[in-house]
Amino acid sequence: AQKITQTQPGMFVQEKEAVTLDCTYDTSDQSYGLFWYKQPSSGEMIFLIYQGSYDEQNATEGRYSLNFQKARKSANLVISASQLGDSAMYFCAMREGYNNAGNMLTFGGGTRLMVKP
Amino acid sequence: EAGVAQSPRYKIIEKRQSVAFWCNPISGHATLYWYQQILGQGPKLLIQFQNNGVVDDSQLPKDRFSAERLKGVDSTLKIQPAKLEDSAVYLCASSLRGTMNTEAFFGQGTRLTVV
């Protein structure tokens, strides 16, 4: 079964508008961490934001915020004031906290975001 | 701080040939990962090391893929023999620890084309 599901293969957004990228996850653990990464066409993976399962506040990092709904097992990324440079693939990832020796970091299938001028 | 270094950046080989990729993680990072990313898909974890021990290699095709992490620092990933479906970008990443809240830092990747 998929641990991380990103249901939007591609999204368009107008420059300067906000956009939400969806991510749902599947885990039976109480302790886990959720991450979002950006992958531009150049290929490198860039860490954007982190949300812990016990964090009561939604994480924010500049123009990025994470809409964390624990009961629904969703961790949507919100990008405010989109810029042309935001055009990239976006991946949601999760670490489950079941193993102190090193918890695996697993990724979803990604969403391609295209920002229109 | 130097990032994760990978080499080579690109490699083209014929099927049934062998190939090796090298990764140097960020200094002091205990956890090292190898991912396979097929075009248009998310990264798939092949193997995860904690220092020089293997944490998980359940998705590593062990009949043809092997990986080692010498002295808990550098790592090599080998494919022998390569198949057409191995064409992908191979990403190496490292993190300070493998704990829940630790982000991973990625290298530029090695793009492998098997013809």
- When CB atoms are compared, the residue of A44, A50, A109 closest to B42 is A109
Interchain CB contact of A50 with B (< 8 Å): yes
Residues paired with residue B88 on neighbouring β-strands, in sequence order: B112
- When CB atoms are compared, the residue of B55, B93, B105 closest to A102 is B55
Would you place residue B60 in the very low, low, confident or very high pLDDT band (cuts 50, 70, 90)? very high
- A18 to chain B, minimum CA–CA distance in Å? 24
Please give the share of chain B, as a percent, with pLDDT higher than 90.
82
pLDDT of res. A97: 65
Chain A and chain B share a number of CB contacts under 8 A equal to: 77
Interchain CB contact of A102 with B (< 8 Å): yes
Tokens of A42: 């150049």
Would you place residue B36 in the very low, low, confident or very high pLDDT band (cuts 50, 70, 90)? very high
- pLDDT score of B99 more than 90: no
- Reported in sequence order, the residue ranges of chain A that DSSP labels E, i.e. its strands, are 4-5, 10-14, 19-21, 24-25, 32-39, 46-52, 60-61, 64-69, 74-79, 88-96, 105-107, 111-116
Residues of A in contact with B44 (CB under 8 A): 107
pLDDT tens, residue by residue, A5-43:
999 999 999 999 999 999 999 998 888 999 999 999 988
Distance CA B108, CA A113 (A): 21
Please give the share of chain A, as a percent, with pLDDT higher than 90.
78
